[in-house]
Every structure is written in structure tokens, then in C-alpha cells.
Amino acid sequence: MASSSDTLVIVGLGNPGPKHAGDRHNVGFWFADQLAAHLGGRFAPEAKLEAEEWRGAVQGRKVRLIKPGTFMNRSGQSVRKVLDYYGIAVPQLLVVHDELDLAPGVARLKRGGGHGGHNGLRDILATCGPDFLRLRLGIGHPGHKDLVTDYVLHAPGKDERTRILDAMEAGISAVEVLATGGLEKAMQQLHSATPRTDATGEFGPAG
């Protein structure tokens, strides 16, 4: 397919199926659903992409909103198919994911970096390289690495969930700025709109 030089691909990460719908690890899916609803859209399955997709525009910029149909550790398989099918370069990819190193209610934008133990990011890095944007949605940390798997595969408490959803609202506003105003402007808006706290809830760098 011909190159879509100005298209923004937004991928929310999660595990498919009702069993995982409420998990902390699925906040990327939550964000994708919330953004689609905000834009008045609905997802449709796209077998050729191994994903659900919504096509539309944000602030006049063409957008492909994606929820991979693969499990988290194979997310890159679907993302690579989307980029190849539409002829979209990796720098035009925004991946939305849960972030253990940020407290619930905190959201941060950045470009590049490692996977930090996140299996979805690990697979996307393997298939696409590091030069993509990330919207990191804080879910907090259970306190010990041995507790992480069980923690991310369970639902947050009511207060945590409310804070995460509030951060998503700020994230949606930042995506609208990103679509037309660029990364720096979007980062400035988002990082001033959500708290500067780390996973423990302590005051920390905006990072």
C-alpha cells in the first residue's frame, strides 16, 4: 500500500478476551477504547492486521487506532503488520501502555527507551526498533519484582482505577496536541496536568 507519510498510528497494549479486560496490564486497551469513544468511533476486527482497528482523524490528522489481537508478548507481530500494510514509519507510532514505575494518576510521554521488563514493549522493540513514541500510564508497583506478574494481571482498586482514568483524560488531550503541535508541546501539557510522583506515590522527577 502507498506510504501514509502523515498518519499517526496509536496502539493500545493489552491482552485480548474478557478474562483480562479489567487487568492493570490492559490500561492501553482502556485508553484506546476511551479515545475511540471520545472521537465517536468504534473498533472493527481486521484479520489481516491481527488487530481491532478504528480509522479516523484527530485534529484533522489521519489516525489509525489499534488494539492488537495477539497476546501481550506478541504485540510486535501485530504492530509490524500495521506499519507495513499502511507504509507508516516507526517514528509515527505511539504505543500506550501500563507503567509500573509511575503511580496511578500519572501519565508521561516520551520517545525511545528500553522495555523496562514490559513484554509488550519488548516484542515491539524486537520487530520495530526503539524510535517510537510512548504514552506511559502509571499503575504503581507492588513493591517487589516477584509480585509483578500477579499484580499486573489483576484489576486495580476503585481509587486507583479512578486516578488511572483521570490520567487517561489528560492523555487524550495530549494526543490531540501531539497530532498537530508536536511532541514537545504535548509533553509540556501532559506533564503539567498530572502529578509528579513515582510508583511509590513520592514526589519525583517528571521523567
Q: Exposed, middle or buried: residue 167 (CB in 10 Å: 0-12, 13-18, 19+)? A: buried
Specify whether the backbone of 135 is left (phi greater than 0), alpha (psi in -120 to 50) or beta.
Answer: beta
Closest CA to 26 of 112, 158, 118, 144: 118
Q: How far is it, in rounded angstroms, from Cα 165 to Cα 109?
A: 16
Q: Which residue has the cell 511509590?
A: 200
Q: How far is it, in rounded angstroms, from Cα 140 to Cα 121?
A: 17
Helix or strand holding residue 107 (H, E) = strand 107-111
Q: Can 97 be counted among the known catalytic residues?
A: no
Q: How far is it, in rounded angstroms, from Cα 105 to Cα 201?
A: 10
- Nine cell digits for residue 172: 487524550
Q: How far is it, in rounded angstroms, from Cα 127 to Cα 205?
A: 30
Write down the catalytic residue from 20, 25, 97, 141. 25
Q: How far is it, in rounded angstroms, from Cα 23 to Cα 154?
A: 5
Closest CA to 203 of 100, 103, 98, 97: 103
Catalytic residues: 25
